[in-house]
Structure 1
Amino acid sequence: MMLMNNINLFLFAVFSGGEAAHAVKRFTGLYTGPYFDPTTTTNITTQLGTHAYLPCKVKQLGNKSVSWIRKRDAHILTVDRYTFIADDRFQAFLVESTDTWTLQVKYVQARDAGQYECQVSTEPKMSHFITLNVVVPKIEILGESDIFVKMGSAVQLKCVITQSLEEPAYIFWYHDGERVLKYDKNAIDIKLDQEGPDTTVSTLIIFHTNPEDSGNYTCSPSNLDSASVLLHVLNGEHPAAMQRGKNSASPIPGWSHLSIGLGLAACTSPRFAVTIALTLAIISEVLAC
């Protein structure tokens, strides 16, 4: 009987000690309520068109709520798992293993850049701010917006994407709205090269151009804006003649005769010089008709 009592006392002491230790750990530490994990980031950088994830690590949250607020317009985006904005790109979820409330922003737009507040419903309120930076890649097709080549010659169209945090999933080329496919390797080819950590180059090669190859060519990467050029395949024409418009410089009728008249003004009376110049100009126009 005495042995059994001693065992019971021992078990009571162990469990009581465990509970006491647990109580000390919970209530007498540096933080007695919710607090933000000091390792939580304050800056997130993402690329236009991708998904952004803004983490907010809250320890010892208890029964308090976590809200996400967009600072530029003070709009409440989410409260716990509930979304309070019509834009369904925004959503909050909890990763319980890390006590992290994460705000997800799908298909990030340039206007999403700015500061976001993670707020805990304590009294007074607790806030942690995260700045979302949106990188907008640049895309261009090298050269002029109008490209002129002789029929039968080869042409290379180079589409260069820079300031990109990740390589595009694909880059498609379109000719007058129809996707360019390299079925015939002897006629056309498309190459993709990674030049440096943030530069991707797609090259469209037409080996032997013909008039049907003329038109609009568009380089269209995944989740990015596109770039276009106009290709002109010449069959004996001169590029300068094709580019001349209504505003092109042209000789003024009778200008040479007016110049003669102005020259005479240096050695005769102005009225006589002007009369001669006008007479020569009229005669020239009549003969031209």
Structure 2
Amino acid sequence: MIALGAVLLTVVSLKFCVITEQLYFFEVLTLIVVFSGGEAAHAVKRFTGLYTGPYFDPTTATNITTQLGTHAYLPCKVKQLGNKSVSWIRKRDAHILTVDRYTFIADDRFQAFLVESTETWTLQVKYVQARDAGQYECQVSTEPKMSHFITLNVVVPKIEIVGEPDRFVKVGSKVELRCVITQALEEPAYIFWYHDGQRVLKYDKSAIDIQLEREAPETTISTLVIYYANPEDSGNYTCSPSNLDSSSVLLHVLNGEHPAAMQRGKNSASPIPGWSHLSVALGLAACTPPRFAIAFTLTLAMISELISY
């Protein structure tokens, strides 16, 4: 009886184990199906969401402002792009600039590249010119086409040398030429001065110096200082910042001369001395005795010479 009981107990235990394993397997299988279904549903939800295909990130910029001569970067963030292409088109002439990474314009200043981590197709415009300003279209090759427009604003800094275009100074005097650059988003990388085409170098600071200061967020001033001007310092001085236009002034170093006399001497359009007096004499001769006309003309000429000195 004891042996028979042991056998029956063993059989019951084995059946219980089999049933337990089946239940366990069923529970595990159920958990797997539920988990997989949930993940699959989550995955589908993550992929589709509100959109079933490509769409533009609503945070993408619509206005970009850059400075003349610098590089501009126009971003176009496209989500769920898949196998679609991204093109950049210049709106003013409908010129296709790029398609994906390929450039379709002869101007090599334009280039498109993808920043994969942010899903952003960026159009780069190197050494921006004033004519580059305007709207650009980022287009996705869906049916119908999807477009995102960005306006590029180009700021053109102003540059001038303060004062008259012709500067007159005496020998030995101190000269300061101030070149002011305003409306500049970025400070120039350098500002060179040229004297009659030759770059001015400040080897001897006791004779000449170049000072640079950033006066305001959008204003830079470069000052050329000549401590003791001499006749050799006369000539054209040009202020030339990086990637910007230049400005010039004419410096005249006088050795005892009067500026007005110097200007008259250089004016090729000035009348020949004596012609004005002769005209007066001819006019008077028509209505007065010749002797009076000649005397009046000679007097006028003498007064004119005295005034010129």
Q: Shorter-chain-normalised TM-score: which range?
A: 0.7 to 0.9
Could you tell me which residue of structure 2 aligns to residue 140 of structure 1? 160
- Residue in structure 2 matched with residue 94 of structure 1 by the alignment: 114
How far the C-alpha of 1:9 sits from its partner, in A, is: 3.3
Residue by residue over 1:74-126, the C-alpha shift from the partner in whole angstroms, topping out at 9 and shown as x without a partner, is 10000011111111110111111221111000000111111111111111111
Q: Tell me if 1:247 matches 2:269.
A: yes
Cα distance in 2 for residues equivalent to 1:207 and 1:37: 60
Partner of residue 24 from structure 1, selected from 45, 61, 66: 45
What corresponds to 2:209 in structure 1? 189
Contact 1:257 1:280 in 2 (8 A): no
Inter-CA distance 282–166: structure 2 relative to 1 (3 Å threshold):
closer
Superposed CA RMSD in Å reads 2.3
Q: Could you tell me how far 1:47 is from its partner in structure 2?
A: 0.4
CA contact (8 A) 2:101 2:112 kept: yes
Query: C-alpha deviations, 1:265-289, integer Å up to 9, x for none?
Result: xxxxx5xx365656668999xxxxx
**Mapping of residues 139-288 of structure 1, within 5 Å:** 139-244=159-264, 245-248=267-270, 252-254=276-278, 257=281, 270=287, 273=288
Amino acid at match of 1:16: G
Partner of 1:105: 125
1:37 to 2:57 alignment: yes
Choose the corresponding residue for 1:125, options 127, 145, 151: 145
Give the gaps of 5 or more residues in structure 1. Answer: 263-269, 285-289
Contact 1:53-1:102 at 8 Å conserved across structures: yes
Structure 2's unaligned 5+ residue stretches are: 1-20, 300-309
User: Does 2:8 align with 1:7?
Assistant: no
- CA deviations on 1:208-260 (whole Å, 9 max, x unpaired) are 01111111111111111111111111112211111111334666124665676
Closer/same/farther in 2, CA of residues 36 and 214 from structure 1, 3 Å limit: same
Structure 2 residue aligned with 1:62, among 82, 85, 88?
Answer: 82
Amino acid at match of 2:46: K
**SS where residue 253 of structure 1 aligns?**
helix
After superposing the two structures, state which structure 1 stretch, 36-45 or 2-11, moved more: 2-11
Match of 2:67 among 47, 53, 58: 47
Displacement of 1:11 in angstroms is 2.9
Distance in 2 separating the partners of 1:36 and 1:192: 45
Give the SS at the match of 1:73: coil
Instruction: Tell me how far apart the structure 2 counterparts of residues 254 and 88 of structure 1 sit (CA, whole Å).
Output: 66
The answer as to whether partners of 2:101 and 2:113 remain within 8 angstroms in 1 is yes
Distance change >3 Å, CA 274–CA 54, structure 1 → 2: farther
DSSP 3-state at the match of 2:216: coil
For residue 94 of structure 1, give the secondary structure of its aligned residue in structure 2. strand
SS in 1 for 2:238: strand
Residue of structure 2 equivalent to 1:265: none
Which structure: larger Rg?
Answer: 2
Bigger fraction of residues in helix = 2
1:99–1:191 distance in 2 versus 1, CA, 3 Å: same
Distance (Å, rounded) in 2 between the aligned partners of 1:9 and 1:139: 77
Write the distance in 2 (CA, Å) between the matches of 1:282 and 1:224: 56
For the residue of structure 2 that corresponds to 1:195, the secondary structure is strand
